[in-house]
Amino acid sequence: MTRIPSIQPQELKEAIDSGSDVTIVDVRGPHDFDEWHIDGDNVEAVNVPVTQLQAVDPATLLNGASEGEVVAVCASGQTSQMAVQMLQQAGIDAKNLQYGMNGWANLYVHQELETNANATVLQFSRPSSGCLAYMVVSGDEAVVVDPLLAFVDTYIEVARDYGAEITAAVDTHVHADHISGVRAFATRSEADVVVPEPAVARGIDYDVAYETIAHGDEIAVGDSTIDVIHTPGHTSGMTSFLVDDAVLLSGDGLFTESVARPDLEDGDEGAADAAATLYDSLQNRILTLADETIVAPAHYSDSADPADDWSYTATLGDLTAKMAALSMPEDEFVEYITADVPPRPSNHEQIIQTNLGQLDTPNYVAFQLELGPNNCAASQESMTQ
């Protein structure tokens, strides 16, 4: 088994990003595959449970695929080793994904954004779910926005690589798709734990001290300023952060391919009212910013195209020109984004309760709860033209 060729999650991501053809042979059960799997424009994902792979010709199942990377995947990287052996016996040069889907879920990368901000803005990306987080570094101080619990130590290490200490950990809203890491900073660092003031009304019950921020406030980080802009609609507390009048950390209000879904806080019954609120936030608090403002959202979906620097960002002017929803009248907008809302994120109720502090969820359980796509946009298809 030790001689079976393998590929690291980071290497697989690089192959996908390069545009190379990649065939994923996912040997988990159909239910697990349907819940979440590795995908992409140049990825052919084939679900072949290992028991079927033993019974039939693998080359037939793969339609003879042998060009590009062929990668066998299971949950932990164990069962897929047997799949690699069978594929190799069929003449297919396959590799095993090291640590399987658990390894893919642990892949976390970051890069500096190209902006006009005085501060350095880093975008952190989790390819397995499309979750994005940010770090704003100025001088020897840093602020992290929308941190994931699973990677709190990563943020601390990266900040130190930049010669900075994290002074505040901030959430844009109460997340429904991943476990927030803001509270963990209270015990692992000297950082302040910060949440939007309107989110408190949802029942925040933290076991650590926290501060609140409201529309019009400012967060100082080194020589830079982060302006607080309340942009409700996705949730009542949804808040965006404008860094040095140049970069808008838009949370789940505005993505590079869509706008927020409006149903996760008050359900289907409150979706229309939330959509109207979102419309007001977009028109009167986001679209009034300069066209050259870089929009940096909290998520991206499979339908999102990365920017030239491979970040998931876009200028506000480009989004206004490409996304029809941003120029619709209110009644049309509300009807449009409530017409075909995608399935709610898996385990969203338990995740929300955990993020409010109402439910004590062990870390290993939290990791399992947030696996899979985020589904926080109003549509699974791109709204851009």
Instruction: Check which CATH number belongs to the domain holding 119 and give it.
Output: 3.60.15.10
Average pLDDT over residues 358-372: 88
Q: How many domains does the chain have?
A: 2
Separation of alpha carbons 230 and 249, rounded Å: 12
Domain boundary among 61, 85, 104: 104
- Tens digit of each residue's pLDDT (9 = 90 or more) over 83-142: 999 888 888 889 999 999 999 999 999 999 999 999 999 999 999 999 999 999 999 999
Which comes out higher in pLDDT, residue 60 or 149? 149
Question: Final residue of a domain: which of 104, 122, 150?
Answer: 104
Question: 68-105 as b/e, with b when 16 or more CB fall inside 10 Å?
Answer: ebbbbbbbebebbbbbbbbbbebebebbbbbbbbbbbb
Residue 66 has pLDDT above 60, yes or no: no
Q: Which residues form the domain of 43?
A: 6-104
- Same-domain check for residues 73 and 166: no
Shared-domain flag, residues 150 and 223: yes
- Mean residue pLDDT of the chain comes to 92
User: Do 301 and 344 fall within a single domain?
Assistant: yes
3-state secondary structure of 43: strand
| Residue that wins the pLDDT comparison between 24 and 3 | 24
What pLDDT, on a 0 to 100 scale, did the predictor assign at position 301?
86
Q: Are residues 54 and 10 in the same domain?
A: yes
Please, are residues 183 and 159 in contact by the beta-carbon 8 Å criterion? Answer: no
Asked whether residue 312 is domain-assigned, the answer is yes
Q: Are residues 81 and 180 in the same domain?
A: no
Read off the pLDDT of each residue in 319-344 and give the average, rounded to a whole number: 92
CA distance 175 to 105: 18
pLDDT of residue 65: 54
In a shared domain, residues 47 and 120: no
pLDDT, residue 341, reads 82
Asked if residue 341 and residue 288 are part of one domain, the reply reads yes
Distance, in Å, from the CA atom of 282 to the CA atom of 177, rounded to the nearest integer, reads: 22
49 part of a folded domain: yes
Q: In this predicted structure, what is the pLDDT of residue 1?
A: 45
Do both 187 and 282 map to the same domain? yes
Q: Are 211 and 192 in contact (CB under 8 A)?
A: yes
Q: Does some domain include residue 379?
A: no
Q: Are 22 and 68 in contact (CB under 8 A)?
A: yes
Residues 271, 144 within the same domain: yes
Identity (one letter) of the amino acid at 223? D
Residue recorded with tokens 């990368």: 109
Which of these is catalytic: 74, 113, 117, 378? 74
Collapsing DSSP to helix, strand or coil, 176 comes out as: coil
Give 170's strand partners.
145, 194
Query: Is residue 74 annotated as part of the catalytic site, yes or no?
Result: yes
In a domain, residue 197? The reply is: yes
Q: What is the pLDDT of residue 64?
A: 53
| pLDDT value, residue 108 | 97
The CATH number of whichever domain residue 68 belongs to comes to 3.40.250.10
- pLDDT tier, 304 (very low <50, low <70, confident <90, very high otherwise): confident
Name residues whose C-beta falls within 8 Å of residue 318's C-beta, 6 or more positions apart in sequence. Answer: none
If asked whether residues 182 and 242 sit together in one domain, one would say yes
Same structural domain, 18 and 97: yes
Assess if residue 383 is contained within a domain. Answer: no
Q: What confidence tens digit (pLDDT) does each residue in 220-266 have?
A: 999 999 999 999 999 999 999 999 999 999 999 999 999 989 998 89
Place of tokens 């990266």: 158
Residue 375 near residue 345, CB atoms below 8 Å: yes
